[in-house]
């Protein structure tokens, strides 16, 4: 019963966000002559895809009441691993699989440390953020890896029926994560776990499975994002992903996920990621001063959570 009312509440939060996104798009369409063009729309979804995918993994973690600060570093690991393998002549498919496997393992390790070591998620993933970046530097000698095969770099440049290929990957991830959170027992367990760990455990939910799988999911999606980024840039980049955890957390939180756990939606995060890109893109198109843009993003993050809190208080 409680779950149902929760769901209902999120729909309202998403609705608000959707209105903001649409209004902003309408304003930008009138304010600039180039915003509502096919080309710019393609740019916009392409610019959002990488963060959009990482943010979805982050949403799982946040719903479970945790946080994953290591996503940016895992993006780096994935980028360097896939590049190293490709340059040394490994086929594309095995290279992709290994990179994804390594990233997922790092996520799994996060979950394992958090569950079995009882280390707070903030600390466990902070450590992973450092260690994984160290692995990146060690593997790459802090140097860019060039000479990736054309067949690999061509993927991110592809446009399929008018949309960039990255968008389709994002779309598939959205669909799968949406089904996972709304239609499966696993999804419900994450919400239950995030709302009240003890109650979840007593009602027979396998808490180890929940913790390990949400962090593994976050690692997996960061790994995919790292591969897409590498394909787009045509190089393995040791500094890739630095600071991306902040964008991912911001997207999820603006999208209505609560850092205290138990709430958050896939569609909310998608809209949150879109809104953050929209402000950047719109700001560039309007030629707004870069520093003012940064202030706007900051105000947006705090403001959206504030309004969300107020609405919740009114309800209860």
Partner 1 sequence: MKKLGKSALVVLLLLAIVVSGLFAQGAKEAQTGPKGVKPYNIAVIIKATDSDFWQYLLVGANNYAVEHPDLVKVTTYGPPSEADIDQQVSILENVISTNPDGIVIASTSSDATVPALEMAYDKGIKIITVDNRVNTPKVHSFLATDNTYGGSLAAEKMFEYLKKNNIATAGKKIAVVSAMAGVQVLTDRDNGFITRIKQLIPGIEIIPTRYVDNDIIKALSTTEDLITTYGRDLIGIFADNNHSADGVARAITEQNLHNRIIVTAYDSDPEEVAAIKSGAIKAIMVQDPYGMGYKGVDSAVKAIEGATLPAYVDTGVVIVEQHNVNDPASQGILDPFTLKKY
Place of tokens 């993003």: 297
CA-nearest of 114, 75, 24 to 222 is: 75
**232 is an interface residue for partner 1 by CB under 8 A:** yes
DSSP category for residue 236: B
Cβ 214 to partner 1 shortest distance, Å: 26
Q: How many residues bind partner 1 (CB under 8 A)?
A: 37
Cβ 316 to partner 1 shortest distance, Å: 40
Using CB under 8 A as the criterion, what x/- string covers residues 54-83 for binding partner 1? ------------------------------
Give the integer Cα–Cα distance in Å for 75 and 243. Answer: 11
**29 is an interface residue for partner 1 by CB under 8 A:** no
**24 is an interface residue for partner 1 by CB under 8 A:** no
Nearer CB in complex with partner 1: 39/313 = 39
Is residue 207 within 8 A of residue 193, CB to CB? The reply is yes
Q: Which of residues 288-307 bind partner 1 (CB under 8 A)?
A: 289-291
**133 is an interface residue for partner 1 by CB under 8 A:** yes
Cβ 39 to partner 1 shortest distance, Å: 6
Cβ 306 to partner 1 shortest distance, Å: 26
Stretch that binds partner 1, among 90-98, 185-193, 198-206, 228-236 (CB under 8 A): 228-236
Is residue 68 within 8 A of residue 58, CB to CB? The reply is yes
Instruction: Please list, in sequence order, all residues whose beta carbon lies within 8 angstroms of the beta carbon of residue 52, skipping any fewer than 6 positions away.
Output: 170, 173, 174, 251, 269, 270, 273, 274
Which one of residues 280, 301, 304, 308 is an interface residue with partner 1 (CB under 8 A)?
280
Nearer CB in complex with partner 1: 43/105 = 43
Which one of residues 32, 182, 206, 207 is an interface residue with partner 1 (CB under 8 A)?
32
* Start-end of H helices in the chain: 2-31, 38-63, 71-87, 92-116, 121-140, 150-157, 165-183, 185-195, 197-202, 207-233, 244-254, 266-286, 290-315
Which one of residues 16, 29, 206, 239 is an interface residue with partner 1 (CB under 8 A)?
239
Which one of residues 5, 88, 141, 313 is an interface residue with partner 1 (CB under 8 A)?
141
* Measured CA distances, 257 to 23, 28, 51, 148, 170 (Å): 22, 27, 16, 38, 19
- The dihedrals phi and psi of 263, each to the nearest 5 degrees, come to -140, 155
Nearer CB in complex with partner 1: 98/285 = 285
Which one of residues 52, 194, 219, 238 is an interface residue with partner 1 (CB under 8 A)?
238
159-160/163-164 β-pairing: antiparallel
Which one of residues 50, 53, 62, 221 is an interface residue with partner 1 (CB under 8 A)?
50
Which one of residues 1, 4, 30, 39 is an interface residue with partner 1 (CB under 8 A)?
39
What torsion do the CA atoms of 83, 85, 87, 93 make, to the nearest 10 degrees? -90
Q: Which of residues 144-163 bind partner 1 (CB under 8 A)?
A: 144, 146-147, 157
Cβ 230 to partner 1 shortest distance, Å: 11
Give the integer Cα–Cα distance in Å for 180 and 198. Answer: 23
R_g over Cα of the chain: 19
Instruction: Please list, in sequence order, all residues whose beta carbon lies within 8 angstroms of the beta carbon of residue 269, skipping any fewer than 6 positions away.
Output: 52, 55, 56, 58, 59, 251, 252, 255, 257
Q: Which residues bind partner 1 (CB under 8 A)?
A: 32, 34, 37, 39-40, 43, 47, 50, 133-134, 137, 141-144, 146-147, 157, 229, 232-235, 237-240, 242-243, 280-281, 284-285, 287, 289-291
């Amino acid at each position: 019963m409680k779950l149902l009312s929760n769901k209902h509440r999120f729909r309202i939060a998403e609705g608000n966000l959707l209105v903001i996104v649409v209004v902003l798009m309408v304003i930008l369409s009138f304010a600039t002559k180039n915003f509502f063009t096919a080309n710019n729309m393609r740019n916009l979804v392409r610019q959002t895809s990488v963060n959009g995918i990482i943010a979805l993994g982050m949403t799982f973690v946040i719903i479970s009441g945790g946080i994953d600060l290591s996503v940016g570093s895992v993006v780096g690991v994935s980028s360097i691993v896939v590049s190293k393998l490709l340059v040394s002549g490994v086929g594309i498919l095995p290279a992709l699989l290994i990179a994804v496997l390594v990233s997922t393992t790092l996520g799994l390790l996060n979950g394992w440390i958090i569950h079995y070591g009882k280390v707070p998620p903030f600390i466990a993933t902070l450590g992973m953020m450092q260690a994984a970046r160290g692995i990146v530097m060690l593997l790459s000698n802090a140097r860019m890896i060039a000479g990736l095969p054309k067949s690999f770099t061509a993927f991110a440049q592809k446009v399929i029926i008018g949309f960039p290929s990255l968008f389709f990957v994002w779309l598939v991830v959205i669909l799968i994560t949406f089904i996972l959170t709304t239609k499966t027992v696993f999804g419900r367990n994450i919400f239950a776990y995030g709302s009240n760990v003890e109650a979840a455990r007593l009602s027979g939910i396998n808490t180890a499975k929940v913790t390990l799988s949400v962090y593994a999911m976050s690692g997996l999606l960061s790994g995919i994002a790292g591969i897409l980024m590498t394909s787009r840039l045509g190089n393995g980049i040791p500094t890739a992903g630095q600071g991306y955890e902040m964008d991912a957390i911001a997207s999820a939180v603006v999208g209505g996920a609560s850092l205290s756990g138990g709430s958050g939606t896939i569609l909310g995060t998608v809209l949150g990621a879109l809104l953050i890109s929209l402000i950047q893109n719109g700001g560039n198109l309007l030629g707004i001063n870069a520093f003012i843009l940064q202030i706007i993003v900051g105000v947006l993050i705090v403001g959206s959570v504030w309004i969300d809190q107020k609405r919740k208080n009114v309800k209860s």
